[in-house]
């Protein structure tokens, strides 16, 4: 079986369309989406519609939770919270109540059987929190404690940090998908992950997809996105 995992779209429907086209060309059997669909991008509504059109497994991210109930004190740096709340309200204004209810209803984790011998545990951040951070550089014991609670899994996948990587701990695989719409690793190509397996054998690979970043930057101007300077800095060519 071949499964594509993607996350952290952040309202970047142009990047998502490019990723879905790339996925289609690779003939995957299933797509799984690991959260952060709408918030912090120029096209929250269209991004959500594209995800929902996949009719597939979607889990909730911290940004989806923010859209539903707002950003609470202590969840982001004090110097950023006012602007992030403006962004949250801007996003909510573009969505319907049915959209909000959909985000509210999303589960926080999922398990996928890649083969009869390989199980994947997938979520947005950690099993205990939509907000906790597991860094690529964390010690093995930290990663095991925060992320690898389901001892029956062979592969652990998550989003949230926007930094794609693959590593192995005690014979098990841990990988971050990176971000479709807002990568933080200095490469403004969309990032997602493909897992392929047969029996006990499997491979895990990060995929990077080039798309029209200039179009997205122009959209930020056109819709008068409230924190467009930040997004320019992340996506700027």
| C-alpha span between 48 and 9 (Å, rounded) | 9
**pLDDT tens-digit map of 86-113:** 999 999 999 999 999 999 999 999 999 9
Fold of 2-235: Purple Acid Phosphatase; chain A, domain 2 (3.60.21)
For residue 237, is pLDDT > 70? no
Indicate the domain borders of the chain.
Answer: 2-235
How high is the pLDDT of residue 220?
Answer: 96
Q: Which two tokens stand for residue 233?
A: 């800095």
DSSP for the chain reads: -EEEEE---TT-HHHHHHHHHHHHHTT-SEEEE-S--SSSSS-HHHHHHHHHHT-SEE---HHHHHHHH-PPTTSS-HHHHHHHHHHHHHHHHTS-HHHHHHHHH--SEEEEESSSS-EEEEESSBTTBSS----TTS-HHHHHHHH---TT-SEEEE-SS---EEEEETTEEEEE---SS--SSS--SEEEEEEEEETTEEEEEEEEE---HHHHHHHHHHTT-TTHHHHHHHH--
From the list 121, 130, 119, the residue with the least C-alpha distance to 69 is 130
Total residue count of the chain as it appears in this document: 237
Each residue's pLDDT tens digit, 132-163: 999 999 999 999 999 999 999 999 999 999 99
Q: What is the pLDDT of residues 157-216, one digit of tens each?
A: 999 999 999 999 999 999 999 999 999 999 999 999 999 999 999 999 999 999 999 999
Q: Mind listing the pLDDT tens digit for each residue in 43-89?
A: 999 999 999 999 999 999 999 999 999 999 999 999 999 999 999 99
Residue 236: predicted pLDDT: 84
pTM above 0.95, yes or no: yes
- What pLDDT digit, counting tens, does each position of 22-34 carry? 999 999 999 999 9
């Amino acid at each position: 079986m071949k499964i594509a995992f993607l996350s952290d779209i952040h309202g970047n429907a142009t990047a998502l369309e490019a990723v879905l086209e790339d996925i289609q060309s690779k003939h995957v059997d299933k797509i799984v989406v690991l959260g952060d669909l709408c918030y912090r991008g120029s096209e929250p509504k269209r991004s959500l519609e594209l995800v929902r059109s996949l009719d597939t497994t979607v889990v909730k991210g911290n940004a989806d939770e923010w859209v539903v109930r707002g950003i609470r004190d202590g969840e982001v740096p004090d110097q950023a919270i006012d602007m992030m709340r403006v962004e949250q309200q801007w996003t909510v204004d573009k969505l319907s109540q049915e959209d909000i209810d959909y985000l509210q209803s999303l589960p926080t984790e999922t398990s996928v059987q890649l083969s009869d011998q390989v199980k994947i545990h997938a979520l947005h951040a950690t099993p205990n929190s939509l907000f906790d951070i597991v860094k690529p550089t964390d010690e093995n014991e930290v990663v095991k404690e925060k992320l690898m609670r389901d001892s029956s899994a062979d592969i652990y996948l998550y989003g949230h940090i926007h930094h794609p990587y693959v590593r192995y701990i005690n014979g098990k695989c841990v990988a971050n998908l990176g971000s479709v719409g807002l990568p933080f690793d200095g490469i403004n190509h969309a990032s997602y992950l493909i897992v392929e397996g047969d029996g006990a054998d499997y491979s895990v690979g990060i995929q990077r997809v080039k798309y029209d970043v200039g179009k997205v930057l122009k959209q930020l101007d056109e819709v008068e996105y409230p924190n467009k300077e930040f997004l320019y800095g992340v996506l700027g060519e």
